[in-house]
Amino acid sequence: MNIKGEIRVLGVDDGPYQKNKNQKTIVVGTVFRGGSWIDGVTRTDIKIDGLDATQKISQMTLNSRHHDQIRVIFLDGITYGGMNTVDIEQLHQKTNKPVIVASRKKPNFKEIKKAIQNLPNPETRWKHIKKAGKPQKVKTTPNPKEKPIHIQYKGIDKKSAIKLTKHTSTKSRIPEPIRVAHLIATGISTGDSHGGA
């Protein structure tokens, strides 16, 4: 993939919620030029512990007025709204955009598998997680104190996925579109837009 300085990417993250109070939670997408300029914001909502995240994020992307310019979708992890898992292969196919999942910590598959057993359709959820592939370690900042993050990807080669993850991680060790999506989603959910990602 040809990665230009102002390549447009979509970063997606969800907002906080209270499991006993809320049935749904917000999901925010930010359209960025590289890791520097925000061009737009889009939003949807998903069911907590549901199975609609793939469809809702696909629709949010397709409905964005920036859809044609978006080259890659960045996800903050593979589970949204609790254990609402994203099928990144299907997300890639539905939107015709490569997908990169960025996680601050290596996913604990043992814990995830245990958690989904208590929910409807655990086999489907586990299939989504397995389809995402093995997490790859990426050091996004030159700071020796900063830990690497882990990425999974579909529709893009490993070298380009790593390069683009580093290219967009301008203010912290995670891609800026994800960090800002987190701040906006948190601000909308709690009425407080302060705080880090």
In order of start, what are the domains of the chain with their CATH numbers? 8-190 (3.30.2170.10)
Across the range 168-177, mean pLDDT stands at 96
pLDDT at residue 196 in the model:
44
* Contact by Cβ (8 Å): 23, 159: no
CA–CA dist 155, 56 (Å, integer): 19
Interval 85-105: pLDDT, tens? 999 999 999 999 999 999 999
158: tokens are 């490993």
Split at pLDDT 50, 70, 90, the class of 195 is very low
Across the range 170-189, mean pLDDT stands at 94
pTM score, whole prediction: 0.93
pLDDT at residue 189 in the model:
79
Question: Which of the two residues, 143 and 85, has the higher pLDDT score?
Answer: 85
pLDDT at residue 1 in the model:
72
Interval 15-68: pLDDT, tens? 998 777 779 999 999 999 988 999 999 999 999 999 999 999 999 999 999 999
Split at pLDDT 50, 70, 90, the class of 197 is very low
Percent of the chain exceeding pLDDT 90 equals 85
pLDDT at residue 4 in the model:
73
In sequence order, the 6+-apart residues with CB closer than 8 A to the CB of 1 are: 71, 98, 156, 157, 160, 164
